[in-house]
Chain A
Amino acid sequence: MTELQRLRDAFRTALDLPADATVDDLRYQDNEKWDSLAHMSLVATIEDEFSVMIDTDDVIGMSSFDEAVRILGKYGVDVK
């Protein structure tokens, strides 16, 4: 599985979305399921999936799928 597929799956798992849901355009609090609690589960899922430890500012700053891609890049995960 590619990094991109893994990240999409992490979003679907954490936000409790169906396996075929489109997640690439998701933004924090635009989607009704992505609130502060789901955000915590999302960060946990991403950390586990990619074996990274995300810094506080990046946890707070992860405001969209695109931002998650960018932030993961900082931790050496090239999502494409």
Chain B
Amino acid sequence: MNLLHPDARVIDAATGESLTPALIDEAAAALAGESLVFMPMETTVAAVARYLAALRLGKPVVLLDPDADHSRLIERYTTTDLHPDLALMLTTSGSTGDPKLVRLSASAVRANAEQVAESLGITSDDVAITTLPLFYSYGLSVLHSHLLRGATVVLERTGIMQKDFWTAVNEHRVTSMAFVPYQYEMLRRLRFDPAKYPSVRTLTQAGGRLRAELVTDFAGRMASAGGRLFVMYGQTEAAPRMACLPPDRIADKLGSAGLAMPGGAFVIEDDEVVYRGPNVMMGYAENAADLARGDDLGGVLHTGDLGRIDDEGFLFITGRIKRMGKVFGVRINLDDVEKHFPVAAVAGDDKLHVFAENITADEARALRTKIAEWLGSHFTGVDVRIIEVLPLLPNGKTDYRALEASL
């Protein structure tokens, strides 16, 4: 698979280094002996070159967080028996306990890059900047969709809380930025004013539900500067984006995850959102033998989300079938949290709230650190509350609704 349009450019904002065909050729030569490539994915030109080389050679790549230890995962999945359609594998969750992989074919990756490029109207004049890690499906799809249309991708390792980031936005005349909900909270804190960054035309939002107030707020900020906010919905299992809310419908469809992207369709089965499209994964892998498996799903993804579709086809997500939460855009199984820690866990907006009975403030802080470490997440995403006694339902189970109401 070649996702690289001949006009596409990748530039490192800090070093000025650019991606060249020669760099990809060199990276391809270095991959000669490998059949399956485990790749800690940094935001550098070298890492992008190596990734594109593996895709071009048709060698399946597992993208990994460069800051974590993956020796167990690598041991678990090392094999040479690989299905010919397999191109890319990503992890689904930040928790280190469950290194399940999503298996994506080259055609699914490419289809989603097309769908995203089409929905956002990406052209070779666009300039995206990295705002998310490239091993994270949403961040990766920013790279894919822009390279496909011959646009420019600026690699920036700082973040929106740092001056270098905003300097790079203006210096490289960035047109498009992708953020998850907590970054919109940050941008609001920064009093983000698009008029100060006149090249920016497009903001996208995915990676969990953004509260309606912020959707309205940022749609308004962008509109007043002649730009647009795109609310999107996806899962790593769909390579990853499935829906897009057209900016001119944000006001009258507030709270919607949008319309299915071109080539995709949603149906609701027993209240569950089911997506059908060319970008659905082949299936999960839980061990090395699974990497030889073909397409298990036939293009149909049961999302695990509860939802409804209105008469115009707009999707509204209403909840999760399993007890799931999201912290900084990464999925978390609440029951798993409770198995590992003596707490009751509920999901907030991009935050995990846990209730622990009768502990001290020091113990609560230590618990917060431990849970965040276990999740591979940041401590500000975990909120520990001390409670005298957990509320129970008549059947003796934890009354999660009462806990949610107390937040």
Contact = CB atoms under 8 A, between A and B. Distances in A.
Interface of A: 16, 18, 33, 35-41, 43-44, 55-56, 59-61
Interface stretch (B99-107, B157-165, B300-308, B341-349): B157-165
27 contacts: A16-B365, A16-B379, A16-B380, A18-B362, A33-B379, A35-B378, A36-B159, A36-B160, A36-B161, A36-B162, A37-B378, A38-B379, A39-B161, A40-B161, A40-B186, A40-B189, A40-B380, A41-B380, A43-B189, A44-B189, A55-B191, A56-B192, A56-B193, A59-B189, A60-B162, A60-B163, A60-B166
Nearest to A57: B163
Contacts of B160: 36
B182 interface: yes
Contact of A37 (B166, B182, B190, B365): B182
State the main secondary structure of chain B at its contact with A: helix
Contacts of A39: 161
Given A16-B369, A38-B380, A41-B380, A59 B190 contact: yes
Contacts of A35: 378
Interface in B147-164: 159-163
A15 to B, nearest CB: 9
B185 A40 contact: yes
Nearest to A41: B380
A contact patch SS? helix
Contacts of B161: 36, 39-40, 59-60
Interface size class of B (residues with CB under 8 A): 20 to 34
Interface of B: 159-163, 166, 182, 185-186, 189-193, 328, 362, 365, 368-369, 378-381
Contact of A60 (B190, B369, B380): B190
A60 B191 CA distance: 11
Closest 3 CB pairs of A and B: A36-B161, A36-B159, A37-B380
Nearest to B379: A16
A65 to B, nearest CB: 17
A39 B192 CA distance: 16
B375 to A, nearest CB: 13
A39 B162 CA distance: 10
B90 to A, nearest CB: 22
Contacts of A38: 378-380
A55 B191 CA distance: 8
B186 A36 contact: yes
A19 to B, nearest CB: 8
B166 to A, nearest CB: 7
Contacts of A55: 191
A18 B365 CA distance: 9
A40 to B, nearest CB: 5
Nearest to B196: A56
Contacts of A40: 161, 185-186, 189, 380
Nearest to A43: B189
B236 to A, nearest CB: 22
A33 B372 CA distance: 12
A26 to B, nearest CB: 15
B148 to A, nearest CB: 29
Contacts of A16: 365, 368-369, 379-380
Contacts of B362: 18
Nearest to B382: A16
A35 B328 CA distance: 14
A61 B163 contact: yes
B269 to A, nearest CB: 37
A28 B89 CA distance: 34
B214 to A, nearest CB: 14
Contacts of B192: 56
B29 to A, nearest CB: 36
A40 B160 CA distance: 10
Given A16-B380, A43-B189, 5 more contacts: A18-B362, A36-B161, A40-B189, A41-B380, A61-B163
Contacts of B380: 16, 37-38, 40-41
Contacts of B378: 35, 37-38
A50 B159 CA distance: 26
